[in-house]
Amino acid sequence: MHVISIVQQKGGVGKTTLAVNVAGALKQRGLSVMVVDADPQGSATAWAIPRKLGFEVRPELMTSGTLSIWLRNILKQRADVILIDTPAGLSSVFRAAVDVADLVLIPCGPSSLDINAARTTLLNVVAALRSDVRSKTQIAVVPTRVDVSTPEGQQIADELSALGESVSPPLSHDVYFVRAFTQGVSVTAAAPDSNAAHEMKALTEFLLDSLSAVGA
């Protein structure tokens, strides 16, 4: 089993979109997947309400004093890949999600606010991982809501590379991501021939390569 944790200090950068759609793409590749919704806003849980995703979205909130229970509930699940959708901020949920992850994803939009928040998030991820010298956890920054027709969209890959970690293939600000949520499915199921679906497949290949560096 591999665990992918999706974290960012800032909200509105596409954590839930990333979690659900990566899970959908992995499911189409024949892997068993689960999304753990650790965000009190419950966006991933709402996405799953029509019961069309084909995989489980499990609400698993951490309340005060329940860290060990939270971790145990996640690690006892049976799936090839578990994706943890976390709330914005650098709370105890953030630290626990990083500690348990094989791969940490930091989604980042093209604005300077997003990039500054990604930088702060990354510093905290690296600091958390340094406390475990045995950790093989991989880190990747995921450009989201990218419009390549704008200067910001054209420059974001270089700006994120300057943070010193791997940068994944980007995700655009594509309407099909919105439609997928409305339909209660992943984008690769909602519009398999769309640009959004092709972006998600390219990202998923990148993530599988990153997980192979961790080992089984």
User: How do residues 58-110 score in pLDDT, each as one tens digit?
Assistant: 999 987 567 888 888 888 888 999 999 999 999 889 999 999 999 999 999 99
Higher pLDDT, 76 or 27: 27
Residue 215 lies in a domain: no
DSSP assignment of 1-44 equals -EEEEE--SSSSS-HHHHHHHHHHHHHHTT--EEEEE--TT-HH
The residues, any chain, with a CB within 8 Å of residue 215's CB and separated by 6 or more, are 136
User: Which tens digits make up the pLDDT trace of 137-169?
Assistant: 999 999 999 988 888 888 888 899 999 999 999
Question: Does residue 132 form part of some domain?
Answer: yes
Could you tell me if residue 128 is inside a domain? yes
Domain extent, residue 201, equals 2-207
The answer to whether the pTM exceeds 0.75 is yes
Decide if 93 is inside a domain: yes
Residue 169 lies in a domain: yes
Q: Is residue 214 part of a domain?
A: no
146 inside domain: yes
Instruction: Please give the Cα distance from 186 to 47 (Å, whole number).
Output: 9
- Asked whether residue 119 is assigned to any structural domain, the reply reads yes
Residue in this structure with the two tokens 């991982």, named with its chain if needed? 129
- Of the candidates 164, 121, 126, 159, the one whose C-alpha atom is nearest the C-alpha of residue 143 is 159
Tokens of 134: 């045995």
Task: Find the CATH number of the domain harbouring 73.
Answer: 3.40.50.300
Number of folded domains that form the chain: 1
pLDDT of residue 74: 85
